[in-house]
Structure 1
Amino acid sequence: MTVRPLSRLSPTRFLTRRGLGFVLVALLCLVGAWILGRRDLLTLAVFLLALPVLAVLGVRTRHERFRVRREFHPAPVQEGTTTTVHLFISPSAGPSSGPVRQGWRDRWSRLPGTGAMVESTMVEQLPERLGGSPRFRYPSRSARGGSVSAYEYRLAPPHRGVFPVGGVTAEFRDPFDLAWQRHTVDPGTELLVTPRPGELSPGLLDLLRGHAGIGVGGSQTTSWVASASENDVMVREYRHGDALRRVHWPSTARRGELMVRHEEGGALPRITLMLDQRAAVHTGGDLAPFPVPGAAASLRTTASFEWQLRTFLSVALGLAGLGHELRLQDHAGEPAFQRSRSAPHPELEVMGAAEAPELLPECLAALELTEPSAPLALSGTGGLLVAFTGRLGLEDAGNLVSGMLNGAGTAASWAGSRGTPQATVISCWPVSPGGDVRDLLETAGWRVLWASPGDSAARLLERWAGPPGGGSQAPPDAALSRASGGDKS
């Protein structure tokens, strides 16, 4: 308990090596003056002791202020790539702290070596995962007459997440290099690092869409997009989950409430993507723990969850690139990114094709596993569905079947889409789902794709054996009964 207060009073916190040398020589002169009775040694001791004290007072009463600005190129940055940080530092005149005190500071600033462009050492504080903290000399060689000092360095974030960059600490010394002071100049900036999309098999997106264009209530055509003119556009009140791109601003301004476009023309069907974020399905078991990923140092994640995030991102971007509108949900049927601190719109559930490339990587940057675990629950699917999960058990499989059968419009289109499953589950676990789990899901019209955390997403199709029995599917009532029996077991 006594070590900490003594360390705060340590002379090394205020004095440089030269200043400590002055103090040591002053003490020796005091001893010599007392033993020899020499007044000149006493005068020299007082002089040598007064210099460091005055230097400490001068440095400690200075409060230099700076403007700090950072720019990242690119921003956000993808994990495994490099971003360039541009740091701009310029002097800033602080607010007055009273006429008497400010006048004293003005007189001090006129002393040699204490002008506005005082030299100092700037240190950019970085987390250990981003490497060592770079040091800069202020002002830079390019700064003249109080202009901005510009610096540049590069960062290579090893994994996704939100990293604090900065703040900058400045170290000041007196003109005689006897005393020093260090203080923080700015609070710092956050760097957003997004996950890297995984590599997909060429035919995976066509498989998820319903065998190259056959979907719920759809027909086999090369393109489902029908252009809608302005006359085909109507507006309605905003509903929770509507895509931001559908907001109709002229109508919103006229009516004083948020209105969205309701397009009557044809469009690609909406696809629901469910991302299971439960810690229980990504940890535990005889084959766990998995190798700890680098992101686990700052995020609650596992190797299987990181695999799912990369695959989820690549599938979502691929479907959005084809023009599909996406409904994004978590394991509880709620907006998928409501717990992500990197999501710009946490409550956003429906994402348009144009918004996905920009918003999706940011939303996934800081997404973590959640506790406590809750059973799977699908909400308002009513169309094509892709579920991303970890360890897939019989109870979760039963919940998937029940939720899909209860979705709007799915059971009604079952007979018309027989032989073409409308839902897919992608499981990531060291071993494939059990035979009873596969039988239940495939009988109810699901595809079961499986991969190990160390595999590439391109192996999903290699391990898929296709629908059982030549593609014949059981009626929805039989599948729902089978799901209920699975829950009881």
Structure 2
Amino acid sequence: MLSGLTIRGRCLLAAGVAAGICALVLDERDLLRVSAFVIALPLLALFLAGRVRFGLRGRRRVDPPRVPVGSPAQVELHLTNGRLPVEGLILEDDTPHALGNRPRFRLNALRGNGARLDYTVTPSLRGIHQIGPLRTWIGDPFGLARYERELTDRSRLVAIPKVFELSGLPPGSGLGTGENGTAKTRAGHGNDDSMVREYRHGDDIRRVHWKSTARRDELMVRVEERPWQGGVTVLLDRRSAAHRGAGADNSVEWAISAAASICLHLDKHGQQVRLLTEDGWPLTRDAETFDDGQDDAVLDSLAAVRPSPQRDLFCNRDPGEGHELIAVLGKITTAGVAELTRLRPQESHSLAILLDVPAWGAEGSSQDVHEAAGQLRGAGWAVAIAEGPRTPIPEVWRRLCHEVPAREVAR
């Protein structure tokens, strides 16, 4: 009850109680009246501040709720009040560092008809950002009582990776020709025919996938899926050990933006697109299960991607399932190249974008990326190199489209 009193209010209340005790001991009625007034003043301030506190309401609207990195979003705050007017109201909306400084407002007066406040946020980093809660501090004019109040819950703003307009398609594959590769061999590598998701209330406990539960430290269940029926697989290498840079200039952000641009470009040309991470974890399901919102699903999944602690590239099966594969790779070793190519059938079309990762840091360019590119080309892959953070994604894609695999030259 008394937790809303400030230090000044508590001291005044204590002084009033002490004066009352002294008045009783000394039988001083005038002092008793003064002590009653001193005690009543902070309690009255506490009561009025509490009434105002519970009368305030707020709601937030984010428009649009999903924006590319670097694009603005408008936040609207709508405040309503009860019967008591509020003077000198201070409000602060809690925003993460990636959205800029926390907006702070001061309202001289808030009447019964309420108020509307607007501000703009521009995400500098990709991710799912939480805005809020909206906080205010309500007190009395004498500074005797003060309440902190959360007026709204949190709102979500999805900062999706930048998507670039690409042109052209790589030659020598089913891309853009209407083929989906269903007649191609799977080279003897089966599929799991299942994926996992978070446990929901009512799920059968017998469907719990214990291996994934142990790895993610949360209950996961199996979801039966149809086998991958051809199309294009985009492989995103998100290993933290394979990337350099900080914040928006990290090479993994370049790779994510490239993967997003490629997925949307292929989907635009009518291809089934499956997006995987370097550990084989699907970021999207079979494209046949998507409706017209597939692009949004791809971008939302990439917005939530976080770097992986996995150090080495490891494949327990062909990530492309015998069909077209486009890999966006960070720093890769000779062993990593061998691991990636050992399960790929020779007749399958394979492409790779290699990032010259040291160029994103203080190390400068490296010859390792050219050696890895030579190994991949020797295995029949088409390869394009991104030389640094300033290299445009459409330019790297254009070079990949003009790259002719070694087996095509031999023919």
Counterpart for residue 267 of structure 2: 320
1:84-483 to structure 2, matched below 5 A, reads 84-90=74-80, 115=83, 120-130=89-99, 131-135=101-105, 137=107, 140=110, 144=113, 149-174=115-140, 178-198=144-164, 202=167, 205-207=168-170, 210=171, 214-216=172-174, 224=178, 270-282=231-243, 290-294=244-248, 303-335=250-282, 337=283, 348-350=285-287, 354-373=292-311, 375-376=314-315, 377-405=317-345, 411=347, 422-428=349-355, 429-430=357-358, 431=366, 433-434=368-369, 436-456=371-391, 457-460=393-396, 466-467=403-404, 471-473=408-410
CA distance in 1, matches of 2:293, 2:405: 37
Q: Does 1:80 align with 2:7?
A: no
Identity %: 22
Tell me, what secondary structure is at the counterpart of 2:300?
A: helix
Paired amino acid for 1:71: R
Tell me, what secondary structure is at the counterpart of 2:343?
A: helix
Tell me, what secondary structure is at the counterpart of 2:169?
A: helix
CA distance in 2, matches of 1:70, 1:196: 26
- Check whether the contact 1:15–1:178 (CA below 8 A) recurs between aligned residues: yes
Q: TM-score, normalised by structure 2?
A: 0.69
CA RMSD in angstroms, aligned pairs only: 4.4
Paired amino acid for 1:364: L
Paired amino acid for 2:104: P
Tell me, what secondary structure is at the counterpart of 1:460?
A: helix
Counterpart for residue 41 of structure 2: 51
Shift of 1:66: 5.2
Paired amino acid for 1:423: S
- Check whether the contact 1:325–1:353 (CA below 8 A) recurs between aligned residues: no
Shift of 1:468: 7.6
- Check whether the contact 2:314–2:336 (CA below 8 A) recurs between aligned residues: yes
Q: Does 1:71 align with 2:61?
A: yes
Q: For residues 438 and 179 of structure 1, do their structure 2 counterparts lie closer, same or farther at Cα, with a shift above 3 Å needed?
A: closer
CA distance in 2, matches of 1:461, 1:115: 62
Tell me, what secondary structure is at the counterpart of 2:372?
A: helix
Q: If each structure's strand is expressed as a fraction of its own residues, which one has the higher value?
A: 2
Shift of 1:118: 5.2
Paired amino acid for 1:115: R
CA distance in 1, matches of 2:372, 2:410: 16
- Check whether the contact 1:86–1:153 (CA below 8 A) recurs between aligned residues: yes
- Check whether the contact 2:60–2:152 (CA below 8 A) recurs between aligned residues: no
CA distance in 2, matches of 1:140, 1:48: 29
Q: For residues 432 and 362 of structure 1, do their structure 2 counterparts lie closer, same or farther at Cα, with a shift above 3 Å needed?
A: farther
CA distance in 2, matches of 1:472, 1:83: 50
Shift of 1:167: 1.1
CA distance in 1, matches of 2:57, 2:50: 20
Which segments of 5 or more consecutive residues in structure 2 lack a partner in the other structure? 181-192, 196-223, 359-365
Q: For residues 126 and 139 of structure 1, do their structure 2 counterparts lie closer, same or farther at Cα, with a shift above 3 Å needed?
A: farther
Paired amino acid for 2:41: L
CA distance in 2, matches of 1:178, 1:384: 71
Tell me, what secondary structure is at the counterpart of 1:191?
A: strand
Deviations 1:241-281 (A, max 9, x none): 8xxxxxxxxxxxxxxxx999xx9xxxxx7211111122232
- Check whether the contact 2:235–2:326 (CA below 8 A) recurs between aligned residues: yes
1:15-54 to structure 2, matched below 5 A, reads 15=6, 40=30, 43-44=33-34, 46-54=36-44
- Check whether the contact 1:197–1:310 (CA below 8 A) recurs between aligned residues: yes
Q: For residues 65 and 362 of structure 1, do their structure 2 counterparts lie closer, same or farther at Cα, with a shift above 3 Å needed?
A: farther
Q: How many residues align?
A: 352
CA distance in 2, matches of 1:448, 1:259: 32
- Check whether the contact 2:62–2:155 (CA below 8 A) recurs between aligned residues: no
Deviations 1:310-363 (A, max 9, x none): 11111111121222220111213331x2xxxxxxxxx62436584333222211
CA distance in 2, matches of 1:332, 1:273: 13
- Check whether the contact 2:59–2:151 (CA below 8 A) recurs between aligned residues: no
CA distance in 2, matches of 1:125, 1:360: 28
Q: For residues 225 and 349 of structure 1, do their structure 2 counterparts lie closer, same or farther at Cα, with a shift above 3 Å needed?
A: closer
CA distance in 2, matches of 1:118, 1:45: 29
Shift of 1:397: 1.2
Paired amino acid for 1:278: R
- Check whether the contact 1:442–1:467 (CA below 8 A) recurs between aligned residues: no
